[in-house]
Amino acid sequence: MSASERKSTEMTYREALNAAMVQEMERDDAVFLMGEEVAEYDGAYKVSRGMLARFGDRRVVDSPISELGFAGLCVGAAMTGLRPICEFMTFNFSILALDQVINSAAKMAYMTNGQINVPIVFRGPTGAALQLAAQHSQACETYYVHAPGVKLVTPATPADAKGLLAAAVRDDDPVAVMEGELLYNVKGEVPDDEYVIPLGVADLKRSGGDVSIVTHGKMVHVALQAAGKLAREGIEADVLDLRSVRPLDVQAILETAARTNRVVYVEEGWPFAGVGAQIVALVQEEAFDDLDAPVLRVTQADVPMPYAKNLEALAKPGADRVVAACKRALYAGEEA
């Protein structure tokens, strides 16, 4: 069924995530949700609203404030035949659980020669919101994608949130679903029926022939805003949403590079050894002859996130910085 033929409903990003979990828990009794405040409180961001009443306290389980502990419990459950959705109140807190994510979940299939799979989803918000300061504003993608064995998706729209989370639950490997905290209230059309987006497939959110803006997650909206500003000056930009950081849709990246001959990567994380560094290496190695300018990156400033509102705004990658980078790639004389 094509997208135009699907019946859809306008809903928020948080409602789309809820719809995906309900869809998968109704489809498969092995799926359950565990995390801090997911049950009695309906979720810290109300993503699990109504699920306790619908599925009961054996499948929607409040955990103690111990990320290492409940992540380990979920990993063990996945190893023995269940399909847990492990919610971190924020991926900043998941740093406490990285031993279970990296040393247990990610490596188990390899270490057992495929005899033990770990079909687990780690999900929750990542990146900065508004004045949450340094310890609660980190974009955590790089921590996860660096490890072989973990897949990672970063939905930017409500429809992508439903489709990618459903695919993550069905996958037999660990998948991190990193959501944008400031996206939970964003509205969009979401298919009503069973909806699954394959992992590793990018989406061209806007088409243009002058410069390619490649990005993922919350930065898709920043990129689209920048593309709109560029269009008013007669510059048309491709906006490629990776959707899946690992596995990576290499072909889609190379196709947009070949189409525009100029690439700017936008990410919320820090620049040093970030996701963008991987994209730059890929494009330079595989599409060098297509390039008419260096591949540029727009990232968070290389500092812990400031608390002060004015400094926070300066540290975040915004649309104006993306516009400047695109113009630099087009030799229009502005610095990123």
Tell me how far apart the alpha carbons of residues 16 and 21 are, in angstroms, rounded to a whole number: 9
The torsion region of residue 271 among left (phi > 0), alpha (psi -120 to 50) and beta comes to alpha
Rounded Cα–Cα distance for residues 281 and 275 (Å): 10
Q: What angle do CA 107, 111, 116 make, to 5 degrees?
A: 85
Residues of the chain with CATH 3.40.50.920: 203-329
User: Which residue intervals of the chain bear CATH 3.40.50.970?
Assistant: 9-191
Give residue 333's pLDDT: 46
Residues of the chain with pLDDT under 70: 1-4, 332-336
Taking alpha carbons only, the member of 8, 18, 6 closest to residue 184 is 18
Half-sphere exposure of 49 (CA within 13 A, CB side): 11
User: What gap in Å lies between CA 48 and CA 11, rounded to an integer?
Assistant: 15
What CATH number does domain 9-191 carry, 3.40.50.970, 3.90.1010.10, 3.40.50.300, 2.60.40.10?
Answer: 3.40.50.970
Pick the CATH number of 203-329 from 3.40.50.1820, 3.40.50.920, 3.30.420.40, 2.60.130.10: 3.40.50.920
Tokens of 189: 């059309």
State yes or no: cis peptide before 247, omega within 30 of 0. yes
Q: How far apart are CA 230 and CA 322, in angstroms?
A: 10
67 is catalytic: yes
- Compute how many other C-beta atoms are within 10 angstroms of the C-beta atom of residue 302: 10
Cis? peptide before 125, omega within 30° of 0:
no
Q: Which of 37, 136, 189, 286 is catalytic?
A: 136
Catalytic status, residue 221: no
Q: What is the pLDDT of residue 336?
A: 47
**Sign of the torsion formed by the C-alpha atoms of 108, 162, 39 and 12:** positive
* Identity of the amino acid at 153: V
Read off φ and ψ for residue 158, nearest 5 degrees: -60, -45
Q: Of residues 24, 67, 255, 267, which has the active-site annotation?
A: 67
Question: What tokens does 127 get?
Answer: 């990146």
Sequence-separated (6 or more) residues with CB below 8 Å from residue 116: 79, 108, 109
- Residue 132 phi/psi, 5-degree rounding, is -100, 0
Give me the pLDDT at residue 6, please: 80
Tens-digit pLDDT profile for residues 60-99: 999 999 999 999 999 999 999 999 999 999 999 999 999 9
Beta-carbon contacts of residue 308 (< 8 Å; ≥ 6 apart): none
